[in-house]
Structure 1
Amino acid sequence: MGQPSITIIGAGFGGITVALELRRAGLTDVTILEQHDDVGGVWRDNTYPGAACDVPSPLYSISSEPNPEWSRRFAEQPDILGYLRGIADRHRLWSLIRFGVTVTEAEFDEHTNRWSVHTADGEVIESDVLVTAVGQLSRPALPDIAGRETFAGPAFHSAQWDHTVSLDGKRVAVIGTGASAIQFVPAIAPQVRRLTLFQRSAPWVLPKPDRVYHDWHHRIFRSVPATLRGERLLTWGIFEALTVGLLHTPQRGGFAGALARRHLEKQVDDPALRAALTPDYEPGCKRMLLSDDYYPALTRDNVDLVVDAIDRIEPDGVRAADGTLHPADVIVYGTGFAATDFLAPMTIRGRGGRSLGDAWSGGARAYLGITTAGFPNFFMLYGPNTNLGSGSIVYMLESQARHIAGLVGWLAEQPGCAVEVDAGVERRFDDRIQRRLADSVWSLCSSWYRTASGRITTNWPGTVTAYRRRTRRPDRRDYRVTAPRTAPARTRPAPDAGDSHRSR
């Protein structure tokens, strides 16, 4: 048996998870390329005030790496970054990672069944297998608003927070009301002179059952690990029930919607403000958010909510469609990410030099969100249709990593070969997924889950349990394993899936 060489792009949760799983499977010839100077991905980049996860910490963890030291139930950004650094320390992953390497393109050579990865500084890195772990929420999206470049003061995206800019006593305009804004708005509202929040659509906001974990919690978690596993299991069950409710009940999102409405009524007394904060779309159509301090922040005397559309940005503020100029010293964009532009700006070329962009011209698609026909030995973490409307993406990443390790295990048994999904299998899978998505709550409104054409390319239309079952072990009937063209051309049947994790 050989050791296929593996290049992983990205050292966030996905890259770390798949590196651990490959090592567990005896596959150790791994290199991780990271364009920044640290691990962490979005948890390295998103340092805005109040940054935290909206999934409880025991579930937002790698299952083999429980953390009894979380400082609170919903971990904040420094804690999560420290958790990932700790995993890299314990498992000696630092030696696998090359920092400061920006990948621009990669191409597959059919004669050798190897990938060539090109970097921004002109280097070419070759390997048998290419794995991308760059995430769906890594490229900040700025709105197309007239005059944006004319603003005279500091302006930045929440994922690129400029900590050199003091907000004390400033007039701050916040554009966007998504998952980041509901965290940083309450954090900065007490320090600014005036905060003007521009809302295109109101989010559904649920209560956040957060709590601090004290030293006695940590002692219990350390001495009785089952307590941490129990909280993880309970949280997992709640999110699975929410998912079923969103996807399959006659009144989708009914319970969650009622809970969110009650939360709004309890926290906002003013009828006009409450009406402005009431969403006009189905609960769950966009990701439902968790916060206990967002609504109270909007009731502060120094906070204004603007629901009129933005006409343009001017040097000294933001002008709304009704003609009102809202003065601002600083603009913060909480406008999300280019989630449907998978892998951009990298160019990935498979068989015949065909780019993944061309293959996905009608919208990104991949078998199990992991692999695409025509792109052998190429696998994705957090690929198309693997995002969740409810639950922990870390659980999904673990499922994908195990599946990938199984496929790479086949290559270890047949050195020099290439594995790729059968085109018919991929097409039938995508057809089924899109039929289910067309009947899902996510088809009922416009959101970052959908492309401009309306195709939902981000979300998985089911529970994480169903996804884990589908990805647990590669099915030999779904894939083709081929020898390189330098050898006699033939297609070999994939080895039995049950043998993909033999001792090496």
Structure 2
Amino acid sequence: MYEVIVIGAGLAGIGMAIALKRAGRHDFALLERADDIGGAWRGSLRHCAEEFGVTPHIRCGADVRSAVYDEAGAAWTVGTADGARHRARAVVMAVGTLCDPARPADFGPESFAGAALRSGRRDRSVDPAGGRTRVTGVLGDREFARGTVVGRGGRRLEDAWGEGAEALLGVSVSGFPNLFWLAGPDIAGARDSAVPVERRIGYVRQALDVLDTAASIEARADAPRMFGDGWRTLLRRAVWSIGGCESWYLEERRRIRLRMSGSTWWQRERKRELRREDFHIRPRA
């Protein structure tokens, strides 16, 4: 059994792995569904993975389909498409929120006969030199988790998030112990992108430190809502909500679940130190 499984070997996943190595934690695996790491950041991240000794921990071609929590054993079982099962005390979701590219409605073969090159899944066998290029700005399909996630008491994440995704500081969800997000809901500030993840990585590392002496840690039931509701009240008056535009920040009920109305500085300070009172921590037997 691993100490930690990190799902996704992109920018956040490689950063988390480096933090684990620096903290002296070497019993972990990175599960990546693609045949290489990094997505759009491939070149730079491959170099980082090698330099910091992360490469031996990476399992490419591991398409995660499920993650099920065993409350008695205080551990997760992560299943992949090839039928393999991996067990770990903690799981870190480093899935990119835009990892699945969306295809424009007018981008089918009937209207465009050329090769489609996506930044996250570029076909490097195609040489665009000398040809005409059409650039289409379409974001991916938002995704916070990979596959079916079943937490404490058999509760599915999709049911827990039935009225909208929410997590304490975008990192921890009540009912899903020892499961952490690096790109969860309510993580992007109004004045920045979702890319800076260093502080979230540090916050998760502190949660893993708690597990050195505890069986499990999860957000208190009221903590995620206390965190998110204040931001969403402010965002109801923001252009994303009242501008009349369709946006990937909006869920079906036109509630914002990705953006927060606050400064990057506030997020950094709030995640500087894990507050144990925000969590339910179960001691070891």
In the superposition, the TM-score normalised over structure 1's length comes to 0.52
Contact 1:4-1:408 at 8 Å conserved across structures: no
Equivalent residue number for residue 428 of structure 1:
226
1:384 aligned counterpart, secondary structure: coil
Equivalent residue number for residue 148 of structure 1:
108
Match of 1:43 among 41, 44, 47: 41
Unaligned 5+ runs, structure 2? none
CA distance in 2, matches of 1:440, 1:32: 38
CA distance in 2, matches of 1:167, 1:478: 52
1:354 is displaced (CA, Å) by 1.7
Match of 1:364 among 160, 165, 173: 165
Contact 1:106-1:116 at 8 Å conserved across structures: yes
Contact 2:186-2:228 at 8 Å conserved across structures: no
Match of 1:94 among 33, 55, 73: 55
Equivalent residue number for residue 419 of structure 1:
217
Give identity over the alignment, percent.
35
CA distance in 1, matches of 2:172, 2:35: 28
CA distance in 2, matches of 1:380, 1:476: 17
CA distance in 2, matches of 1:466, 1:166: 44
2:252 aligned counterpart, secondary structure: coil
Contact 1:22-1:405 at 8 Å conserved across structures: yes
Q: More relative contact order in 1 or in 2 (CA 8 Å, sep 6+)?
A: 1
Equivalent residue number for residue 91 of structure 2:
130
Within 5 Å, give how 1:271-290 maps onto structure 2: none
Equivalent residue number for residue 177 of structure 2:
376
Equivalent residue number for residue 342 of structure 1:
144
2:116 aligned counterpart, secondary structure: strand
- CA separation of 1:421/1:150 partners in 2, compared to 1, >3 Å: closer, same or farther? same
Contact 2:97-2:144 at 8 Å conserved across structures: yes
1:402 aligned counterpart, secondary structure: helix
Query: What is the count of residue pairs matched by the alignment?
Result: 282
1:128 aligned counterpart, secondary structure: strand
Contact 1:132-1:380 at 8 Å conserved across structures: yes
Match of 1:387 among 163, 182, 188: 188
1:171 is displaced (CA, Å) by 6.6
Contact 1:158-1:334 at 8 Å conserved across structures: no
1:438 is displaced (CA, Å) by 1.6
CA distance in 2, matches of 1:87, 1:171: 34
**Aligned partner letter, 2:162:** S
Give the structure with the higher percent helix: 1
Within 5 Å, give how 1:180-195 maps onto structure 2: 181=135
- CA separation of 1:409/1:165 partners in 2, compared to 1, >3 Å: closer, same or farther? closer
- CA separation of 1:21/1:152 partners in 2, compared to 1, >3 Å: closer, same or farther? closer
Unaligned 5+ runs, structure 1? 45-80, 175-180, 182-332, 488-504
In the superposition, the TM-score normalised over structure 2's length comes to 0.89
1:334 is displaced (CA, Å) by 3.7
CA distance in 2, matches of 1:6, 1:127: 5
